[in-house]
Chains A and B, each alone.
Chain A
Amino acid sequence: MHELSIAQNIVDIIHQYVPANERQRVRSVFTIVGEHSGIVADSLTFSYQAITAATDLQQSALVIEHVPFTVRCKECGAESRTEMGSIQCPACKGLDTQVLSGTELRVSEIEMEDEPKEPS
């Protein structure tokens, strides 16, 4: 259950980018979460809602983009999604592979509602 501290890290990053007087306009926070980043998406969403409730960010939603775990085989060159987080190449069974994706945990974008127009 470290999703709560992950959610707090996400809020800290939002605070760095959005000044206090603009945080009420944050609508969506886009995150990239790898299949094997060790994060449970539902738990992260719940944690984010819990710590932003009754704050300037309460109207914002956490949006999670899932990234599959893939490896590139240095022996046969195949790029494949593997079963159960194995690094073994499914094509040639080679073990000399490089992890391409699936371990990331990033905040990618923040979507803000436009400022209310000044009456002219």
Chain B
Amino acid sequence: MSIITIERKVLEKNDELARKNRELFAKQKNFVINLVSSPGSGKTSLLEATLAKIRPHASVAVIEGDVQTDLDAQRVAKLDVPVVQIVTNGGCHLEAKLVHDAMQSLDLAAVDLLIIENVGNLVCPANYDLGEALKVVVLSVTEGDDKPLKYPTMFRNASVVIINKVDLLPYVNSNVETLKQNALSINPMLTVFEVSCRTGQGLDAWCDWLIEHSVKKG
């Protein structure tokens, strides 16, 4: 038997494409967020509420990722925001190549903020760098306050956690303080926002943060 020593990262091809995406975003001064969550936590509702508030202050474009249908892109397009839908046809996550291809349909030079809504899944998207500035995890209170402990990789790789549906707290067995503690025990650098897309609670703080990070400097 003979041994060939390799020592190669399995996802280096994706990482390399992500690096190219990131270079392009930097050149065009795009602030890019990768929005991740489990299915049904309210990513698209958050996106709609965010776009309504942020559009007067920043130029925004959206890349939607879904396993099937362009329903989410239709929702975003109604808000008069440039949007591209990626349909993964069963794929459980977005990859840098898919984002690179989708970018070709957008005039990114005119964009301050690009929001990439990933496929609803707290496992697989954690492994795939898309070239984003940071990952934002959306977590709804109905999912339980132990979620960060169950999906630590995603919470470790994220920079922001948005706790959604806080208007439902009186009706569910979720403790928002426990949820925050659990998230911060995985990653103490996380910035946490508590919001309700239904009542509008907390959306201003999140949108102010986003505007501050995305308005082009220089």
Chain A interface helix/strand/loop/mixed? mixed
Q: Mark B13-28, 1 if CB is under 8 A from A, else 0.
A: 1100000000000000
Q: Is A88 an interface residue (CB 8 A)?
A: yes
Number of A-B contacts (CB under 8 A): 95
Other A-B contacts than A105-B11, A107-B7, 6 sampled, CB-CB below 8 A, are A85-B186, A86-B186, A88-B188, A106-B10, A109-B6, A112-B1
- Answer whether residue A6 sits at the interface, using C-beta atoms and an 8 A cutoff: yes
Q: Which residues of A contact B149 (CB under 8 A)?
A: 84-85
B2 within 8 A of A: yes
Instruction: Give 6 A-B contacts (CB < 8 Å), ordered by A residue.
Output: A27-B1, A36-B152, A37-B153, A38-B124, A85-B153, A109-B3
Q: How far is the CB of B9 from chain A (nearest CB, A)?
A: 5
* Chain B 136-152: CB-based contact to A (< 8 A → 1; otherwise 0): 00000000000001001
B156 at the interface (CB under 8 A from A): yes
The distance in angstroms between the C-alpha atoms of A107 and B3, with both chains bound, is: 13
Assembled-state Cα–Cα distance A18/B4 (Å): 9
> How many residues of chain B get a CB closer than 8 Å to chain A's CBs?
31
* Partner among A1, A5, A109 whose Cβ is within 8 Å of the Cβ of B4: A109
Residues of A bordering B, CB below 8 Å: 1-2, 5-6, 9-10, 12-13, 17-18, 27, 31, 36-39, 84-88, 95-96, 99, 103-114
Q: Using a CB-CB cutoff of 8 Å, which residues 82-121 of chain B contact chain A? A: 91-93, 95
**Residues of chain B lying within 8 A (CB to CB) of residue A39:** 127
* A38 contact set on B, CB distance < 8 A: 123-124, 126-127, 153
B124 to chain A, nearest CB (A): 4
- A106 near B4: Cβ-Cβ < 8 Å: no
- A2-B93, A38-B123, A114-B1 are contacts. A87–B188 as well, Cβ < 8 Å? yes
Closest Cβ of chain A to B123, distance in Å, is 6
User: A85's closest neighbor in chain B, by CB?
Assistant: B152
Do A110 and B13 touch across chains, with their CB atoms under 8 A apart? no
Q: Is the CB of A110 within 8 A of B153?
A: no
B25 → A minimal CB distance (Å): 24
3 closest Cβ contacts across the A-B interface? A85-B152, A2-B124, A95-B188
A residues in contact with B128, CB < 8 Å: 2
Assess A84 versus B10: contact at CB under 8 Å? Given A38-B127, A109-B5, A112-B4. Answer: no
B44 within 8 A of A: no
**A106 to chain B: which residues have CB within 8 Å?**
7-10
A113 contacts B1, CB within 8 Å? Answer: yes
Enumerate chain B residues within 8 angstroms of A104, measured Cβ to Cβ. Answer: 9
Chain B residue with the shortest CB-CB distance to A105? B10
- B11 lies within 8 A of A6 (CB): yes
Residue from B1, B8, B186 within 8 A of A111 (CB atoms): B1
Q: From A106, which residue of chain B is reached at the shortest CB distance?
A: B9
Contacts of A113 in B (CB 8 A): 1
B187 at the interface (CB under 8 A from A): yes
